[in-house]
Amino acid sequence: MNLGIDGKLALVTASSGGMGRNIARTLAAEGANVLLFARTAEKLQAVAEEIEGDYGVKAHVVAGSMLVADDVARLSGTLASLGGADIMVLVTGRPPNPLRDTLKETEPERWQEAYENQLLSVVQVVNAVAPQMLDKGWGRILAITSASAKQPMAVHALSTVFRAGVTAYLKGLANELGPKGITVNCVAPALIDTSHRSGSAAYTPAQAERRVSMTPLHRMGTQEELAGVVAFLASAQAGFVTGSTIAVEGGMIGSLF
């Protein structure tokens, strides 16, 4: 299937590794040029060279933080010089570790960190980049949230609250930007394999086994499966899907809607 994004410019945040990198690679495989945004210039450049070598598209790099106004302004300026983003994929940080029960989340600093990393960062980038999309008559805005925003999970209060906030924010944007031809959606993953990570973010064997038991498919989802859903929502064929949250969680969520 031709997704109709050949030659489009896709901004992907947090794209120096992990989920963001995989999403950028998937969009590039469909012919989209990409702009990679994350904190570490060296890692971004390595990913950009990898993408250009593998897919023959343009991969641009802007190093910076979604929380630093000057960095976001540089991102916006670079995108403007390239004609503006057609696709924006917002990947953000994880909540502070270790995860805790809800009533044990008593430290204001942890709430502030989660708010900034998961919600404020999205708002700042959207405010800077989305206005450039308004005159194009076509656009795709996507945020990676979490299935916990649909079905709250134990010890995920910091994630659930602010991922739900992103969901509400994007629902409002979908209503406002629809007349401009811009769709706005969330992708809500869970049970996705994180073996590409190291350290505290990776699942232990016991955690992985428990997560496998939570899905009717009896396996973890892959990064490629998650990125494929993002690519479809960024496509021409998904032009009538907006204001939605698409769960990528192997059937874990028990509700009908």
Q: Would you state the pLDDT for residue 104?
A: 94
Residue labelled with tokens 């989209």: 32
Rounded to whole angstroms, how far apart are CA atoms 21 and 23? 5
Q: For the whole prediction, is pTM greater than 0.85?
A: yes
Q: pLDDT tens digits for 130-177? A: 999 999 999 999 999 999 888 888 778 999 999 999 999 999 999 999
Q: pLDDT tens digits for 34-65? A: 999 999 999 999 999 999 999 999 999 999 99
Q: Is the link from the previous residue into 108 a cis peptide, with omega within 30 of 0?
A: no
Domain 9-248 has CATH 3.40.47.10: no
Q: pLDDT tens digits for 81-133? A: 999 999 999 999 988 888 899 999 999 999 999 999 999 999 999 999 999 99
Q: Would you state the pLDDT for residue 202?
A: 54
At residue 200 the predicted structure's pLDDT band, cuts being 50, 70 and 90, is very low
